[in-house]
Chains A and B, each alone.
Chain A
Amino acid sequence: MAGVYLPSLKFNANTWVSVKTADLTSYEEIQSTQGTIVYRAESLYLQTNSIDQINEPIDVQIYDSNGKLTKNKRVNVADTYQFQPAINIDLKQNPILFNGRTRIVLNLLPKQSVKLYFQTVQLEPSDFLDGGNNFFSEDFLDTYGFFEGYNEKIQEKIMIIEKSIKLNS
């Protein structure tokens, strides 16, 4: 039987699923950098508040260039001998590349919390330019003259102070 079903809406001021970071960089900030910054996750420390939750799968889903989800791999497999609600997953052999086309999917059990701690190596487009890490100082500082002549000014100040000390002594 064909039918039209209207959604019933529920509101929760405290959010239905909250995502926070443990540092000053907000989750929204990390999300908006995906794609411009590539994060290569080499390990994942996962902590939950129950054994049931830690044995839930974590799927890594990858979009192709047409925006279709094509690849799906599972990074943790349920372990019947898992007796601690924390696990360290080594991803060095098969790292997860967060490049704006990859997402991880968790199955969150009711009223559960999960802490995920990824150790990543971060790559930015500027890393590939000549100068690498020194790109900021070599390009930006030289181009815009930021702090230009700062050294000389400091030296002058020191000379004046030294002279005044000598005169007073």
Chain B
Amino acid sequence: MASIKQDISLQVVNNNFYATKFSLLGGTQDPSNGQANSTIFYEYDLTAETFIGTVGVSIQASTVTNPTVFTYTTNGDITDVGMVLNVLNSLNLGIFNRVGNTIFIIDRINIFGNLTIF
């Protein structure tokens, strides 16, 4: 059995004014693969949300190769923005980030639509 020594050298630069969670080397099958070198930034301002009686979150998403829009839904008591972030990250659509009451994601492969808190 042969094995070859090989180096992987990467330079990652955050051109964003926000701290950003970012994944690397997951391969093309990784749902967050579209983060690297993305020129598009999706931002959801949840300042107006009161979280009274909210029991779920859904988000619309499609991809550049498949424009059919799917709605991804998750249920459970939603009481604050942190919970919205956690449930969005459990959907395996990429890594969502939070700054105050704003949730954002950088992606060039997935296309995100409306975020519904119900």
Interface set of A (CB-CB < 8 Å, partner B): 1-23, 27, 30-32, 34-35, 39, 41, 61, 63, 67-69, 98, 100-123, 127-128, 132-133
Given A17-B20, A120-B7, 14 other A-B residues pairs in contact with their CB atoms under 8 A: A4-B114, A6-B114, A10-B41, A12-B15, A16-B15, A17-B13, A34-B25, A100-B29, A105-B24, A106-B21, A112-B13, A113-B13, A115-B10, A118-B9
29 CB < 8 A contacts A-B: A2-B53, A2-B118, A4-B114, A7-B115, A8-B44, A9-B43, A16-B39, A17-B12, A17-B13, A19-B37, A27-B10, A30-B8, A31-B26, A31-B27, A32-B27, A32-B28, A67-B92, A100-B27, A101-B27, A103-B23, A103-B25, A103-B32, A105-B22, A115-B10, A117-B9, A118-B8, A118-B9, A118-B10, A121-B6
**Chain B: number of interface residues, binned into ranges:** 35 or more
Cα(A80)–Cα(B116), bound, Å = 42
1/0 contact string of B78-118 vs chain A (CB within 8 Å): 00000000000000100100000000001000001111111
**Main secondary structure on chain A at its contact with chain B?**
strand
B16 contacts chain A at the CB level, 8 A cutoff: yes
Q: Which B residues touch A17, using CB under 8 A?
A: 12-16, 20, 22, 35-38, 106
Which chain A residues lie closer than 8 Å to B77 at the CB level? none
9 nearest A-B residue pairs (beta carbon): A34-B27, A103-B26, A108-B14, A22-B9, A132-B2, A133-B2, A122-B6, A10-B41, A19-B36
The reply to whether A120 and B38 contact each other, CB–CB distance below 8 Å, is: no
- Flag if B10 contacts A2 (CB, 8 Å): no
Q: Which residues of B contact A30 (CB under 8 A)?
A: 8, 25
A114 near B29 (CB under 8 angstroms)? no
